[in-house]
Amino acid sequence: MKKAIIGGTGVYGMGGEARIETVTTPYGPVEVDLVTLGNEEVVFLARHGKKHSVPPHLINYRANMKALEQLGVKWIYATAAVGSCNEDFAPGDLVVINDFLDFTKNRPVTFFEGGGEPVGHVDMTTPYCPMLRDHFMAAAKVENITVKGEGVYVCTEGPRFESHQEIRMFRMLGGDVVGMTNIPEAIFAKELGMCYATVGMISNWCTGMQQEQIALHDIETALGNNKEKLTRAFLRVFDQSLDQQQCTCNRSVVTL
């Protein structure tokens, strides 16, 4: 059980034969689906809960990622609904995330809390696993999935959307898409030595990019067109032989 999918907004299951398991972690319990695919099980975790009942600022990110580690997960694909602040990325497009800007405020962002534990620092040269990103791009071609490009994810605290001036600032800093959940998830994966990659599903234009206000029905439409395609591509990668020697994700922590 070494592979997992984390579903963001609009992605609440994988289909197929599944059983529910509750994993007890030092940070709280986590409910996951264990989905049987051929001779192995893939873990599915709904980031916001199956009924989208947990807002982004209240997600127990540490418990979620610790639960996946306890289940033996080494490779993770995640989906993220994002707004676009890049004119080249429109609602309905898919973007592979290659870096981030962290503007969260009130979240635990590390497992290294000191005390009786070693002080740890994690290398963020490649925040998202380059091996999983490359494998996804190859699988997307086979599945006839159009990937618009790669982009920098700006993570805000939420649950409010961003102001016009905030989006202006993010664009000046090099941000391409904006969301509320990818940090600290990506950091925790790296601290735990897991390969992690995120595909952003553009659900809307960010504030001020267009004249129209952000509409829930537009977001749901954009996500609905992509979630099944993404699952097929992820599973195609998981069918392959994956090796953590092809990246540095499990060798990124320096302890003192």
- Numbered residues of the known binding site for phosphate: 9, 47-48, 181
Amino acid at 96: V
Which of 129, 125, 170 lies closest to 152 in space, CA to CA?
170
User: What's the rounded Cα separation, in Å, for the pair 172 and 180?
Assistant: 19
CB atoms under 10 Å from CB of 37, counted, come to 14
Q: Distance between terminal CA atoms of the chain?
A: 31
Report residue 227 CA to chain centroid gap: 13
DSSP string, 164-218: HHHHHHHHHTT--EEESSHHHHHHHHHHTT-EEEEEEEEEEEPTTTSSSPP-HHH
Instruction: Name every residue whose Cβ is closer than 8 Å to that of residue 52 and which is 6 or more positions away in sequence.
Output: 9, 12
Binding residues for substrate: 180
Q: H or E stretch including 69?
A: helix 61-70
DSSP string, 144-165: TPPP-EEEEEEEE--SSPPPHH
DSSP string, 8-26: -TT-----SSEEEEEEEET
Binding residues: 9, 47-48, 180-181
